[in-house]
Amino acid sequence: MSTPRAPRWSIRLPDLRGQRAVVTGASDGVGVEIARALAIAGADVVLPVRNRAKGERAVASILADAPHAHLTLVDLDLADLASVAKGAEALFAAGRPIRILVLNAGMIALGDPVRHTSADGFELHFQTNHLGHFALVARILPLLRAGAARVTVQSSLAARSAQLRWDDLQLERHYSVFAAYGASKLALSLFALELGRRSAASGWGITTNLSHPGIAITNIAPASLREGRTLGARLGRRIMDAGVGGTPAEASLPALFASASREAVAGAFYGPGGFLHLQGPPRRESLYRRFEDRQAAARVWSVSRELTGVGFEASRADAG
Ligand SMILES: NC(=O)c1ccc[n+]([C@@H]2O[C@H](COP(=O)([O-])OP(=O)(O)OC[C@H]3O[C@@H](n4cnc5c(N)ncnc54)[C@H](OP(=O)(O)O)[C@@H]3O)[C@@H](O)[C@H]2O)c1
């Protein structure tokens, strides 16, 4: 990868000292930049990671910019519900209310036409990007309630035209990587909005909103694309390097604004404000039409509960 250019945009975060933030997917890419900025603003940041060595490298890189930061690694693989349960236990063991939760981790198996399943037997994108996050939130609900948390989910431009095939949610009959990725991001986004509504109705004190990073070259893209090994990849790379996409730091700004700015609004959607929302300073966007389908959101909630076996009402007694 070429040397990252200096960020073209920045935002000012409030003083977050004394606040606990949890950022999934903070071992790489956009997530490490979200964690870095929250730590620089003073938050105690927890990084749930599936790869401890990568997590330690992320921590070292953040400490280089914020030497006094309070950073904690927790082992958590979203593609394994038993690991999600253990990670949630570790968060309870710390006993600290959570003020900011950014559900940023994600994967897309670009260039791999084969359908893969998780340790629990679910389509891999659906579990990693959505079900694992659903189970995590359900398990740590008391910590989120105790912290009057703001929960931000990292969606994607791909969710705009995605579909949830209710009769084939795991895409066993018709699989494509883009259908799987888009469906997982649509499910996660609908879940976030449903969580906000249920919280308001039940007085949980949690608010939710959504963000998307536009497009940025990170390790989510396969090496062939990042290294420009094919003609198409070289073209894509040139377009990105010309500034059409954002750097990971630039791409982190919508999630940072959504999760930590005092001006961010519950139930709103933030993305880059530039050309086609591929890059640019963070701006509020209209919700994608599909995000406004409340019936689909309620169905995502009940199906996710059934598939994960984790329900919100079954959460343990309130913490904090
Ligand atoms: N980059 C883009 O252009 C783009 C566009 C739209 C949306 N997004 C979304 O933005 C988010 C961040 O993407 P990125 O570009 O920063 O990607 P990235 O560099 O590949 O980072 C993804 C992060 O998610 C973590 N992760 C993946 N599978 C996991 C699992 N099973 N359990 C726990 N953590 C897991 C990764 O952990 P490891 O370090 O262990 O791999 C990594 O920390 C994702 O949700 C992605 O879908 C990105």
pLDDT tens across 83-107, in order? 999 999 999 999 999 999 999 999 9
| pLDDT attached to residue 318 | 43
Query: Which atom in ligand 1 lies closest to the alpha carbon of residue 77?
Result: 32
Residue 286 lies in a domain: yes
- Do the Cβ atoms of 284 and 265 come closer than 8 Å? yes
Read off the pLDDT of residues 32-45 as tens digits, 9 standing for 90 and up: 999 999 999 999 99
Atom of ligand 1 nearest to the CA of 105: 24
CATH code at 246? 3.40.50.720
Identify the pLDDT of residue 239.
79
Domain that holds residue 101: 20-308
Q: Within a domain: residue 320?
A: no
List, in order, residues 6 or more apart from 178 with CB less than 8 Å away.
158
pTM across the whole model: 0.96
**In the predicted model, what is the mean pLDDT of residues 158-176?**
97
- Res 235: pLDDT: 79
Q: How confident is the model at residue 233 (pLDDT cuts 50, 70, 90)?
A: confident
Going by pLDDT thresholds of 50, 70 and 90, the confidence category of residue 216 is very high
Using CB distances shorter than 6 Å, the residues near ligand 1 are 25, 27-31, 50-51, 54, 76-79, 104-107, 128, 154, 156, 212-213, 215-216, 218-220
Strands 282-285 vs 150-154: parallel, antiparallel or unpaired:
unpaired
Closest ligand 1 atom to residue 79 Cα is 31
Tell me, in angstroms, the distance from the centre of ligand 1 to residue 32's CA: 10
Q: For 234, phi and psi rounded to 5 degrees?
A: -65, -40
Q: How confident is the model at residue 4, as a pLDDT?
A: 61
C-alpha 188 chain-centroid distance? 9
Identify whether 89 is part of a domain. Answer: yes
Active site residue 181: yes
Q: How many residues does the chain have?
A: 320
Q: What span, in angstroms and rounded, lies between the C-alpha atoms of 106 and 71?
A: 21
Asked if the model's pLDDT at residue 12 lies above 60, the reply is yes
Residue nearest to atom 17 of ligand 1 (CA): 220
Spatial contact of 21 and 237, defined as CB atoms under 8 Å apart: no
For position 316, what pLDDT does the model report?
Answer: 55
Q: What is the pLDDT of residues 107-128, one digit of tens each?
A: 999 989 999 999 999 999 999 9
d(CA 20, CA 38): 10
Spell out the long-range contacts of 221-225 with Cβ–Cβ below 8 A and sequence spacing 24 or more.
Answer: 221/110, 222/110, 222/111, 222/112, 224/111, 225/110, 225/111
Q: Give the pLDDT of residue 3.
A: 56
Closest-lying ligand 1 atom to the alpha carbon of residue 54: 39
CA dihedral 258, 263, 269, 270 (to 10 degrees): -60
pLDDT at 195 over 80: yes
Centroid of ligand 1 to alpha carbon of 266 (angstroms):
24
| Residue 15, domain member (yes or no) | no
**Does pLDDT of 132 surpass 80?**
yes
Percent residues over pLDDT 90 in the chain? 87
Q: Are 214 and 253 in contact (CB under 8 A)?
A: no
pLDDT band at 319 (very low <50, low <70, confident <90, very high): very low
Amino acid at position 291, single letter: F
pLDDT at 315: 54
Which residue's structure tokens are 């990170």?
Answer: 218
Using a 10 angstrom Cβ sphere, with 0-12 exposed, 13-18 middle and 19 or more buried, the burial of residue 314 is: exposed
pLDDT value for 186: 98
In one letter, which amino acid is 222? P
Enumerate the H helices of 140-204 as residue ranges: 141-146, 177-202
Number of domains in the chain: 1
* 8, 127, 278 from 273: Cα distances, Å: 13, 30, 8
* Domain-embedded: residue 212: yes
pLDDT value at residue 320: 39
- What is the whole-number distance in angstroms between the Cα of residue 220 and the centre of ligand 1? 6
State the Cα angle at 132 between 124 and 206, rounded to 5°.
145
Cα–Cα distances (Å) from 175 to 66, 119, 155, 303, in that order, read 44, 19, 21, 20
Q: Choose between 314 and 137: higher pLDDT.
A: 137
Task: Give, using CA atoms, the residue closest to atom 25 of ligand 1.
Answer: 25
Mean residue pLDDT of the chain comes to 94
Considering the domain boundaries, does residue 304 fall inside one?
yes
In this prediction, residue 225 has a pLDDT band, given cuts at 50, 70 and 90, of confident
Residue corresponding to tokens 């979203």: 78
On whether residue 215 sits in a domain, the answer given is yes
Does 8 reside within a domain?
no
Distance CA 202, CA 192 (A): 15
